[in-house]
Structure 1
Amino acid sequence: MPLKAMMNNAQQLPNIPKIVQELIESFGDNNVNTDAIAKKIASDQVLTAKVLRMANSARYGGNRKIGSVNDAVVILGFNALRTLVLASGLTSAFKTPESFDIKQFWRNSFTCAALCKWLAKFTKLDPEVAFTCGMMHNIGGLLIHTLAPDKAAEIDGAVSQGLDRKQTQDLQLGFDFTDAGAELAQNWRFPSDIVDAVRFQLSPGQSAPYAKLVYLAIFILSMNASKHPEQMQAEFPDQLAESIGINVEQMKDKLAETKTLDSGLDALLG
């Protein structure tokens, strides 16, 4: 199953709302017309309801009442609003087999996103771009389950027996979830920083900084879930973290915070 052939079948690809596409294209645009985009978001009642519900959560709004999209722009800032709209658009774009736990998939993705954003505060990287990278990091895996559910189930079975997912996907499909995710991100016109973060997340040595951020986030998630977190902390990729400006000693002092991070997006999952 060549990746290009799968991606070229546009009718199979998940659709995202037009306003979400415009928001994707607004990354890096310093002259983006936030008023015009806010009006377009507000014209979609379903999307607005979801965004305001999230914006008024403890994670985002706190004690402040956000009653409109314009309020959200003023109180949260355009970049944070864009993150909420992207999350809403992405979670509604995929139709997966009943056997696939889509809610758990997005919980895992949002957890990784929250950790990427947490790590970004130790760097000069944009925290909302970092969040988006984490949210998108396994989008290729979701795409494979959407477009090739039988093959995906077969791969899941092999992984449950202890095989490596990336290697198994390469063997069975000729590509892996990072390749598929990067292609989809490129198809949706995400900026190169986010495309590269998805593509190089498992081999970040010479790659873009956001790929390194995702790699570190995945490592910390594995460490938090490990029966031997002390050993994993000793094996922490210090040099990789330092290469994007992280003060490793300062960051490690605050690692306990990562066990209770909240993305603020669970309301999307019903």
Structure 2
Amino acid sequence: MSLSTLLEQHVLLPSQPRVVALLSSELRKPEPGMRSLVQLFSSDPVLTARLLAAANGPAHLLGQRVHSIPEALVLLAPVQLRQLVQKAAPVSASHVSAGWSLANFWRYSLDTARMARALAMSVQANASQAYALGLLHGLGELLLQAADPDTFFRLSELLEPMHPKRPQVEMQLMGYCSGQITAHLARQWNFPEQISDAFQFMHAPMEQPVFEPLTGVLHLAIWRASTRALNWGERQLAVTFPAETGLALSMDIDMVLRQASIDWHAAGSLDVQF
């Protein structure tokens, strides 16, 4: 299936039932708590995508695009948030299709988001925007699995979805990769150009015409979250570390691994129970 055909598929991407239920409950309150809303939206990639799409819609464009979850929640009224949540498609975390576990996908997305936030803080970049990038970057894989499960299954037979070399395999088999899918989705949803560009180059940040620290941060976060999900040891980590990107950000492998350990152990408030 070509990229243009894939993007034309009308597929409802899944959200976590528990998050949808908790958001619905919170939004029924006379005055929903901002902290609770931020934490809940920050736990689900698809709900976050819907949130940012609504905030960047024609009705809300005030000359400056919305890059993060807190910004979007300040902009949108509770009634708009309720409508957004009502359109969600909750699917059980135990759902497995074409070798794809939603529970693993959600856990990996949260790991990437937390890692991106931590690295962004280390290089004085926008941590909230980095978190959103990390949380959303895997939506291309999610759409591919839902819209073209046969191709997704063939890919999974060659290499697991979270493997750092997966984008190269996708390019060989399809002519495009999941990062490009996510970038096109971001453009369809009218996301800021900085976000769509970060997705476009997230697997090759040094190829971006002008190196963007947030793209580099996302690349390193993806590498660490994926290698953690695959339980790689020290040798595999050492030989696959994106050294050129690390150098551009003045970060070596020890700094990245140390930051990852700190952030994952300190971020329980945003964890979702599976």
Q: Structure 1 length as normaliser, TM-score?
A: 0.65
Cα offset, 1:42, TM superposition = 1.8
* Cross-structure match for 2:181: 180
Q: Deviations over 1:112-132 (max 9, x none)?
A: 000000001112211011001
Cα offset, 1:188, TM superposition = 1.1
With over 3 angstroms needed to count, the CA separation of the structure-2 counterparts of 1:129 and 1:172, relative to structure 1, is: same
Counterpart-to-counterpart distance in 1, 2:124 and 2:113: 17
Residues 122 and 251, structure 1, Cα contact 8 Å, conserved in 2: no
Counterpart-to-counterpart distance in 2, 1:31 and 1:159: 37
Q: Deviations over 1:216-235 (max 9, x none)?
A: 11233356532226x73587
- Tell me whether 1:228 sits opposite 2:234 in the alignment: yes
- Tell me whether 1:124 sits opposite 2:124 in the alignment: yes
Residues 167 and 177, structure 2, Cα contact 8 Å, conserved in 1: yes
Gapped regions of structure 2 (runs ≥ 5): 14-45
Cα offset, 1:106, TM superposition = 1.3
Q: Deviations over 1:214-262 (max 9, x none)?
A: 1111233356532226x73587545533534x46599469434145252
* Cross-structure match for 1:21: 53
**Identical positions, percent:** 21
Alignment RMSD (CA, Å): 4.1
* Cross-structure match for 1:56: none
* Cross-structure match for 1:139: 139
With over 3 angstroms needed to count, the CA separation of the structure-2 counterparts of 1:95 and 1:185, relative to structure 1, is: farther
Cα offset, 1:193, TM superposition = 1.6
Counterpart-to-counterpart distance in 1, 2:220 and 2:255: 12
Cα offset, 1:147, TM superposition = 0.7
Secondary structure of 2:190's match? coil
Counterpart-to-counterpart distance in 2, 1:132 and 1:28: 21
- Tell me whether 1:157 sits opposite 2:157 in the alignment: yes
With over 3 angstroms needed to count, the CA separation of the structure-2 counterparts of 1:170 and 1:37, relative to structure 1, is: closer
Cα offset, 1:174, TM superposition = 2.4
Residues 7 and 13, structure 1, Cα contact 8 Å, conserved in 2: no
With over 3 angstroms needed to count, the CA separation of the structure-2 counterparts of 1:102 and 1:18, relative to structure 1, is: closer
Residues 155 and 168, structure 1, Cα contact 8 Å, conserved in 2: yes
Letter in 2 for 1:197: A
With over 3 angstroms needed to count, the CA separation of the structure-2 counterparts of 1:13 and 1:122, relative to structure 1, is: same
Secondary structure of 2:169's match? helix
* Cross-structure match for 1:200: 201
Secondary structure of 1:194's match? helix
Cα offset, 1:44, TM superposition = 5.4
Q: In terms of mean alpha carbon deviation, does 13-22 or 216-225 score higher?
A: 13-22
Secondary structure of 2:159's match? helix
* Cross-structure match for 1:113: 113
Larger radius of gyration: 1
* Cross-structure match for 2:222: 218
Q: In terms of mean alpha carbon deviation, does 195-204 or 235-244 score higher?
A: 235-244
Letter in 2 for 1:140: G
| Corresponding residue pairs, total | 224
Secondary structure of 1:226's match? coil
* Cross-structure match for 1:42: 78
Gapped regions of structure 1 (runs ≥ 5): 48-84
With over 3 angstroms needed to count, the CA separation of the structure-2 counterparts of 1:150 and 1:30, relative to structure 1, is: closer
Counterpart-to-counterpart distance in 2, 1:130 and 1:36: 15
Cα offset, 1:143, TM superposition = 0.9
